[in-house]
Amino acid sequence: MESWKKESFEWLKALAVGVVIVLVVRIFLFSNYVVEGASMQPTLQDGNKLVINKIGYQIGDIDRFDVIVFHANESEDYVKRVIGLPGDEVSYEDDQLYINGEYYEEPYLEEFRTEEGRLTGDFTLEEIPGGQIEVPEGQLFVLGDNRQESLDSRIIGFIDQDSVVGKVNLRYWPLNELDVRFYE
């Protein structure tokens, strides 16, 4: 009887350690996110399940064109693509992206560009809520890949870097769309 109690106690300890490890990973390192809506099509679809790296963006900087999840308000998180970093001047002319006066290709838009034609429309940051010429320090300029259906920085303005939950590292559902590359 004594060995049964001892073995049960060992199993409970192992289970408790396992739960603590899972909680630490879930709370501090990685999280999952389910895409809702069409704002990131064709890159991400409604219902896609993603793994969000919560520490990678804290250890290294957020890079231009990263796909991130951020707190849009107290009850909603959004997934969008980082276009402008602090200090960047962003504009669109003839549906072409210019950052600091340099043209950047957006290969992730090609599928929609061939179907829809003009996607983004012309603008400068001065026309964005906040009326800045450049992205302010501590802020990001984000856009959805489905520019005609996205609630993004063109409407809500710049987002605080502190509101970033993490960087999208993996789409794991549906399995046939498993992917870790979101720029091409």
Phi, psi of 43 (to 5 degrees): -65, -50
- The answer to whether the beta carbons of residues 88 and 141 sit under 8 Å apart is yes
Of 39, 150, 153, 167, which is the active-site residue?
39
Our answer to whether residue 39 is catalytic in this structure is yes
Distances (CA, A) of 106 to 9, 33, 101, 111, 163: 57, 24, 15, 11, 25
Of 54, 80, 153, 167, which is the active-site residue?
80
Which class for 30: exposed (0-12), middle (13-18), buried (19 or more C-beta within 10 A)?
middle
CB neighbour list of residue 27: distance below 8 Å, 6 or more residues apart: none
Catalytic positions, written as ranges: 39, 80
